[in-house]
Amino acid sequence: MGEPRVRQRKFAPRSRQGCLTCRARRKRCDGQRPGCQNCTRLNLTCEYQAPRRITTEPNNAQDSESSPDSMTGPLMPSLDPWDALPGDEPGERKHLLRYYIEAFVPSVSVATTQSSFYKFLYIPWAFKCEGMLDAILALSSAQLARRIATNDRAQHLRSVSAKHQRKCHAFLADRVPDNGCPPRDAFQVIGVILLLVGLEALNGDKSTRWLSQMKCVRGILDMLPDTGGSWELDSLRRHFTYHNTMASLMARVSKNESLFVYDDFSLNSEPGVPVMVDPLMGINYDLCKLISRIQYVSSTNPAFHQISQAAFTVIERDIQGWTYGSPIGVPGLELPVALDLIALAESYRLAALIQLYRTSLLHKTLVSRCASRAMEYISRIPPGSAAESSLLYPIFLAGAELDNEPEITKMFKRLAEIQARNCYENVSNVQKVLEEVWRPALNGGQKRDWEDVLQDWGWSFTLG
Q: Which residues lie closer than 8 Å to 318 by C-beta, 6 or more apart? A: 290
pTM of the model: 0.79
Q: How many CB atoms lie within 10 A of CB 444?
A: 6
Query: What whole-number distance in Å separates Cα of residue 315 and Cα of residue 306?
Result: 14
User: Tell me, which fold does domain 18-52 have in CATH?
Assistant: CD2-Gal4 (4.10.240)
Centroid of chain to Cα 279: 10
Q: Are 102 and 24 in contact (CB under 8 A)?
A: yes
What is the pLDDT at residue 68? 36
Domain boundaries, the chain: 18-52, 88-457
Q: What is the mean pLDDT of residues 227-240?
A: 85
Phi, psi for residue 282 in degrees, rounded to 5: 65, -120
What is the pLDDT at residue 426? 92
Give the lowest-confidence range in 47-61, 166-180, 333-347.
Answer: 47-61
Query: What whole-number distance in Å separates Cα of residue 77 and Cα of residue 49?
Result: 11
Beta pairing partners, 282: 278
Integer distance in angstroms from the first to the last C-alpha of the chain? 43
Q: Are 219 and 240 in contact (CB under 8 A)?
A: no
Give the lowest-confidence range in 56-70, 121-135, 362-376, 396-410.
Answer: 56-70
With CA atoms as reference, report the closest residue to 38 among 24, 52, 51.
Answer: 24
- Highest mean predicted confidence (pLDDT) among 63-72, 143-152, 257-266, 430-439: 430-439
With CA atoms as reference, report the closest residue to 308 among 253, 257, 300.
Answer: 300
Q: Are 123 and 82 in contact (CB under 8 A)?
A: no
What is the pLDDT at residue 336? 92
What is the pLDDT at residue 252? 75
Average pLDDT, the chain: 82
With CA atoms as reference, report the closest residue to 353 among 365, 343, 335.
Answer: 365
With CA atoms as reference, report the closest residue to 419 among 392, 387, 454, 379.
Answer: 392
Centroid of chain to Cα 7: 26
Decide if pLDDT at 42 tops 50: yes
User: Alpha helices, DSSP H only, in 251-364?
Assistant: 285-292, 305-320, 335-357
CA angle 70, 75, 80 (to 5 degrees): 140
With CA atoms as reference, report the closest residue to 32 among 60, 55, 13.
Answer: 13
Buried b / exposed e over 12-32, threshold 16 CB at 10 Å, is: beeeeebbbbbbbbebbbebe
Buried b / exposed e over 136-171, threshold 16 CB at 10 Å, is: bbbbbbbbbbbbbeeeebbebbbebbeebbebbeeb
Using one digit for the tens of pLDDT, what is the confidence trace for 428-443? 999 999 999 998 887 8
Q: What is the mean pLDDT of residues 140-165?
A: 90
